[in-house]
């Protein structure tokens, strides 16, 4: 697109380099927006590839559940470990359960789950679709009168939008459980932990966490698919598409997380 052909090395002023990067970034945002608009048109027409979507949901679940369970459990455990120690100094043991639950539901579960999924699911999408792109399979889809957005992108967007909240819910459960065990081991009574959890954690917090997860899922799938579809240049290009997809989606997840917090809390 806007890239100079490989091998060209032109000395440019820093300002021109920065400007070029900004323009490239904006062009890419535009391309992603066009892809999402095309995807939305297929959804609105009710033309979902049910089988492909089911395959993708299954794959997201199967690929990510182990890593999500581990990251979720340890997030809850470290939160409990730190808060139990700090709050104990101020006699605030009664807040530990609430703090762990609230932190998990609002931030830790959705964000860490999304980051783990970006590494597995987003990278997988970019690699798979990227391989299809550099081996002419995307062209083959198009000449077989099958829009790649409809056949590949929409199912992955749908699967990620459904899968991420489910994974986040899992992370909440294991995080809370992990936190419970660490807190009780640190001398906080089981009853204190649970009543504090009940007092501070409202359904609203859980729901917002899950809504955030939907957005993160869409980011992961959109970036992964876009990078894959635009991969060029053989195995090397697929590799670049994959790493690019992971880095960009993690950055976007964190930025988006901040702005979603501004909206919801």
Partner 1 sequence: MTESQPSSRPGDAIVVASDLWKSFGGSAALSGVSLEVRRGEIQVIMGPSGCGKSVLLKHLVGLVRPDRGEVLVFGHPIHAMSDHELDSVRVRIGVVFQSAALFDSLTVEQNVAFPMRRHSNLSREEIARRVRELLDRVEMAGTEDLMPSALSGGMRKRVGIARALALDPPLILYDEPTSGLDPLTAHTVDGLILRLRAELEVTSVVVTHSLDSAFHLADRLAVMDSGRLTAVGTPDEILGSADPFVRRFLDTRAVEVKPS
Q: Is 44 in the site for partner 1 (CB under 8 A)?
A: no
Angstrom distance (rounded) from CA 254 to CA 118: 12
Q: Is 147 in the site for partner 1 (CB under 8 A)?
A: yes
Among 136, 185, 236, 259, binds partner 1 (CB under 8 A): 136
Q: Is 50 in the site for partner 1 (CB under 8 A)?
A: no
Angstrom distance (rounded) from CA 92 to CA 230: 53
For partner 1, the closer CB: 85 or 142: 142
Number of residues in contact with partner 1 under rule CB under 8 A = 18
Angstrom distance (rounded) from CA 246 to CA 67: 16
Among 25, 33, 139, 185, binds partner 1 (CB under 8 A): 139
Angstrom distance (rounded) from CA 253 to CA 228: 19
Q: How far is the CB of 101 from partner 1 (least distance, A)?
A: 41
Return phi, psi of residue 3, to 5°. -75, 145
Q: Show the CA angle centred on residue 54, arms to residues 166 and 107, nearest 5°.
A: 20
Q: Is 142 in the site for partner 1 (CB under 8 A)?
A: yes
Closest alpha carbon to 65 in 154, 174, 156, 158: 174
Angstrom distance (rounded) from CA 176 to CA 169: 11
143: how many CB neighbours lie within 10 A of its CB?
8
Q: How far is the CB of 163 from partner 1 (least distance, A)?
A: 19
Q: Is 144 in the site for partner 1 (CB under 8 A)?
A: yes
Q: How far is the CB of 14 from partner 1 (least distance, A)?
A: 24
Q: How far is the CB of 6 from partner 1 (least distance, A)?
A: 10
Q: How far is the CB of 135 from partner 1 (least distance, A)?
A: 6
For partner 1, the closer CB: 2 or 33: 2
For partner 1, the closer CB: 84 or 138: 138
């Amino acid at each position: 697109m806007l890239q100079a052909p490989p091998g060209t090395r032109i000395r440019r002023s820093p300002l021109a380099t920065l400007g070029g990067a900004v323009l490239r970034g904006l062009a890419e945002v535009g391309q992603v927006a066009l892809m999402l608009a095309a995807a939305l048109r297929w959804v609105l027409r009710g033309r979902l590839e049910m089988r492909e979507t089911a395959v993708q949901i299954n794959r997201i679940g199967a690929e990510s559940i182990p890593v999500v369970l581990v990251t979720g459990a340890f997030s809850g455990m470290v939160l409990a470990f730190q808060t139990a120690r700090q709050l104990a100094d101020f006699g605030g043991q009664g807040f530990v359960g609430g703090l762990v639950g609230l932190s998990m539901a609002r931030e830790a579960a959705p964000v860490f789950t999304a980051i783990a999924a970006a590494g597995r699911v987003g990278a997988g999408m970019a690699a798979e679709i990227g391989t299809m792109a550099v081996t002419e399979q995307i062209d083959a889809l198009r000449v077989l009168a099958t829009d790649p957005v409809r056949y590949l992108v929409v199912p992955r967007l749908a699967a990620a939008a459904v899968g991420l909240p489910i994974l986040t819910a899992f992370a909440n459960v294991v995080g809370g459980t992990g936190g419970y065990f660490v807190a009780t081991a640190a001398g906080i009574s089981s009853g204190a932990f649970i009543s504090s959890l009940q007092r501070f954690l409202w359904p609203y917090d859980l729901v917002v966490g899950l809504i955030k997860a939907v957005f993160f899922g869409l980011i992961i799938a959109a970036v992964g698919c876009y990078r894959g579809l635009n991969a060029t240049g053989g195995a090397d290009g697929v590799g670049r598409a994959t790493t690019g997809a992971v880095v960009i989606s993690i950055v976007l997840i964190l930025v988006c997380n901040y702005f979603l917090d501004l909206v919801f809390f």
